[in-house]
Amino acid sequence: MTPRLVTTVVELREALEPWRGGPIAMVPTMGALHDGHLSLVAEAARHAPRSVVSIFVNPTQFAPNEDFAAYPRTLKADMAKLAGRTDIVFAPSAAEMYPDGFATTITVGGPSAGLESDFRPHFFAGVATVVAKLLLAAMPDVAVFGEKDYQQLLVVRRLAADLGLPARIMGAPTLREADGLAMSSRNAYLDAEQRKTAARLNAILKDVIAKTGNDNADLRAAEQHGVKALLEAGFGKVDYVAIRDAETLAPIATLDRPARVLAAAHLGRTRLIDNMPIA
């Protein structure tokens, strides 16, 4: 069954009202859905009998030099992919989310510091603001975000905890292509040669983890190895390869707690991110 499409907050709340009292899940997306997104929708279904998927390309998380105008908008195809998987698709306009006179921005500290913020300083304020608006619009019991955007997941968890938002923020594992590349809407930007190179990101992160496999491991040397390996593989620019505390994303000197390796690198005009846990 094709999900119901709603485009305003008033419509969304009216559509969800009959289901209040039982759990409702939400999956916020920017559309251009692929199997990775659909795995999040499946995860939502495991936590609630009713769900809503939002599709909104959020302008406030793009800088002027980024790909907002070019970001794929495929609502008709997305609706078809969601048939039988969710009850409601919330696809608001920019004017609905940011009406004339809109003047509020949410800033989250803690896990937003460094990494993505060093290269996209505008990004998490835009994410935090739109996610807060989406969660307040739908008031779900559960909201599912992918671990591929790991820093974003931790920022959203901090946001929900600090503002007392009632949604439980769930992380879902990264879904990967057969060669290990993390699924992303931006993968469509890669040409054939870049696509082959992109698969090296996953393998190189595994190599970085392997270099942390003893008690005396030099974590900074492992990070530097990752940067060098990515450049040698054909990535044109590496923003970071970083080993961080898995719960706070604070820098660490030793692996005496759960950790994560995170990376961001460029192939042509496409910026790819990925991360993995360090056992």
At 129-176, the pLDDT tens digits run 999 999 999 999 999 999 999 999 999 999 999 999 999 999 999 999
User: Within this chain, do residues 153 and 214 fall inside the same structural domain, yes or no?
Assistant: no
Other C-beta atoms closer than 10 Å to the C-beta of 92 total 20
Question: Is 216 domain-assigned?
Answer: yes
> Are 82 and 153 in the same domain?
yes
Q: What integer pLDDT is reported at residue 31 of this predicted model?
A: 97
Please say whether the beta carbons of 58 and 126 come within 8 A: yes
- Give the whole-angstrom CA distance, residue 275 versus residue 279: 13
Q: What span, in angstroms and rounded, lies between the C-alpha atoms of 53 and 186?
A: 20
Instruction: Tell me, yes or no, whether 166 and 194 share the same domain.
Output: no
Tokens standing for residue 161: 């905890």
Assigned domain for 126 exists:
yes
- Whether pTM exceeds 0.85: yes
Strand partners, 177: none
Domain boundary among 172, 201, 233: 172
Given 34, 37, 225, 266, which residue is catalytic?
A: 37
Given a contact cutoff of 8 angstroms between Cβ atoms, the answer to whether 175 and 56 are in contact is: no
What's the pLDDT tens digit per position in 55-78? 999 999 999 989 899 899 999 999
Whole-number Å distance between alpha carbons of 270 and 191: 10
104 and 211 part of one domain: no
Single out the residue of 152, 70, 144 nearest to residue 117, CA to CA. 152
Could you identify the residue written with the tokens 């496409």?
A: 270
Q: 123, 138, 172 — which closes off a domain?
A: 172
Confidence (pLDDT) at 279: 77
CATH number at residue 249: 3.30.1300.10
Structurally, how many domains does the chain consist of?
2
- Range of the structural domain that residue 117 is part of: 4-172
- 74 with 151, same domain? yes
* Confidence bin at 214 (pLDDT 50/70/90): confident
Is residue 208 in a domain? yes
Q: Is 137 within a domain?
A: yes
Q: How far apart are the C-alpha atoms of 189 and 198, rounded to whole Å?
A: 11
Q: Look up the CATH number of the domain holding residue 167.
A: 3.40.50.620
Mean pLDDT, residues 223-245:
98
Residue 270 belongs to a domain: yes
32/151 same-domain check: yes
Question: Are 92 and 166 in a shared domain?
Answer: yes
266: annotated active-site residue: no
Same domain (yes/no): 65, 136? yes
Query: Contacts from 190-193 at CB under 8 Å and sequence distance 24+?
Result: 190/267, 190/268, 190/270, 191/268
133 and 26 Cβ atoms separated by less than 8 Å = no
Going by C-alpha positions, the residue among 126, 149, 10 that lies closest to residue 58 is: 126
| 180 located within any domain | no
Burial code of 155-169, b = ≥16 C-beta within 10 A, e = fewer?
bbbbbbeeeebebeb
127-142 in b/e form (b: 16+ CB < 10 A) is bbbbbbbbbebbebbb
Residues 71 and 209 in one domain: no
Query: Are 89 and 225 found together in one domain?
Result: no
Domain boundary among 133, 149, 172: 172
* 144 and 100 co-located in one domain: yes
In a domain, 178, yes or no: no
Same domain, 122 and 246: no
**Within 10 A of 121 (CB to CB), how many other CB atoms are there?**
11
Tens digit of each residue's pLDDT (9 = 90 or more) over 246-275: 999 999 999 999 999 999 999 999 999 999
| Residues 112, 115: Cα–Cα separation, whole Å | 8
Does any domain span residue 46? yes
